[in-house]
């Protein structure tokens, strides 16, 4: 496939673009890299206090039988959500940002998008590492951790597929980025992140519950919680659904991108 060989040829560029973004990111800031942890940590603490302490959302008992901690239950979901957010926002920004370059030199326009995904992935790797480390400390450990890389790999494909389309449409219509902001707010609460899925299934009408269940992010969050919090292997059906959705989204997204990205250098 010409596309993958093209991308492979430009792997150096993708790596360099990612490096460039990482290096330039916290330049001239005193705390530097610490910011990349302070930000998600603050979110985590805020949500844990608001939803766990004030609203008393009850997390299920963890896989080891005695842990019942809302913050950790939340953290497992936020790792997934943060990555998804970072990729979608990053890909839109990266293609626009690569405009001056794309107008002067040829390279596949998906390179900056893939590079921004790598940046997000490096952040997620750190967050996942911390999550797993904490689970080890609180003795909530199981072989189900092996599913984590698989889940993230599928999440990468899914996010990339959506990110490619969003980044391209955003070149033509800049209000896509605002639309995405609004959509992300809705989606955040339509995904069982600050509450367990059981809450929807018990309290919401059937069609809404079904919609929440079919939301791929629900399934990603669920799979991640299963693997690191509940310590259950995600079911085969569950994984199959994720695989089909992810690979399908990536294929369609990439196809659309390839189809319409030819003129992108003129529109930037």
Binding to other proteins by residue 259, rule CB under 8 A?
no
User: Is the Cβ of residue 171 or residue 242 nearer to other proteins in the bound state?
Assistant: 171
Residues that contact other proteins, how many (by CB under 8 A): 30
Asked if residue 158 lies in contact with residue 249, where contact means CB atoms within 8 angstroms, the answer is yes
For residues 25 to 44, the per-residue mask of contacts with other proteins, x marking binding by CB under 8 A and - elsewhere, is --x-----------------
Please tell me whether residue 260 binds other proteins under the rule CB under 8 A. no
SS3 string, 36-55, reads: HHHHHHHHHHHHHHHHHHHC
Query: Candidates 9-17, 34-42, 154-162, 214-222 — which segment interacts with other proteins by CB under 8 A?
Result: 9-17
CA–CA separation, 247 vs 154, rounded Å? 8
- CA-CA distance, 207 to 13, in Å (whole number)? 46
Q: Return the CA Rg of the chain.
A: 19
Query: Which residue in 1, 23, 66, 186 binds other proteins (CB under 8 A)?
Result: 23
The rounded distance, in Å, linking the Cα atoms of 29 and 61 is 41
Six-digit token string for 86: 């970072």
Interface with other proteins in residues 46-105 (CB under 8 A): 100-105
Asked if 255 contacts 115 with a C-beta cutoff of 8 angstroms, the reply is no
Near other proteins in 142-181, by CB under 8 A = 172-176, 179
Q: Which range in 14-22, 81-89, 156-164, 225-233 contacts other proteins by CB under 8 A? A: 14-22
Site for other proteins in 101-130 (CB under 8 A): 101-107
Handedness of CA 238, 239, 240, 245 (dihedral sign): positive
Contact flag: residue 265 with other proteins (CB under 8 A):
yes
Q: Which residues bind other proteins (CB under 8 A)?
A: 9-13, 15-17, 20, 23-24, 27, 100-107, 172-176, 179, 262-263, 265-266
């Amino acid at each position: 496939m010409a596309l993958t060989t093209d991308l492979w040829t430009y792997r150096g560029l993708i790596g360099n673009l990612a490096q460039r973004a990482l290096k330039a990111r916290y330049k001239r800031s005193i705390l530097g890299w610490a910011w990349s942890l302070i930000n998600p940590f603050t979110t985590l603490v805020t949500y844990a206090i608001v939803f766990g302490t004030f609203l008393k959302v009850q997390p299920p008992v963890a896989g080891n039988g005695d842990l019942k901690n809302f913050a950790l239950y939340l953290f497992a979901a936020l790792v997934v959500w943060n990555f998804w957010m970072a990729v979608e926002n990053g890909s839109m920004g990266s293609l626009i940002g690569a405009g001056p370059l794309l107008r002067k030199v040829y390279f596949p326009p998906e390179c900056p998008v893939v590079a921004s995904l790598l940046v997000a992935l490096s952040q997620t790797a750190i967050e996942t590492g911390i999550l797993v480390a904490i689970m080890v400390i609180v003795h909530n450990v199981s072989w189900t951790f092996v599913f984590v890389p698989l889940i993230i790999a599928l999440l990468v494909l899914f996010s990339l597929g959506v990110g490619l389309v969003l980044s391209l449409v955003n070149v033509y219509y800049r209000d896509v980025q605002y639309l995405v902001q609004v959509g992300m707010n809705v989606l955040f609460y339509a995904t069982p992140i600050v509450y367990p899925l059981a809450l929807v299934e018990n309290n919401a009408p059937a069609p809404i519950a079904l919609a929440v269940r079919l939301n791929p992010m629900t399934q990603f969050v669920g799979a991640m919680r299963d693997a690191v919090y509940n310590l259950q292997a995600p079911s085969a059906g569950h994984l199959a659904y994720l695989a089909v959705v992810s690979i399908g989204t990536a294929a369609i997204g990439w196809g659309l991108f390839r189809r319409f990205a030819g003129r992108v250098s003129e529109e930037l």
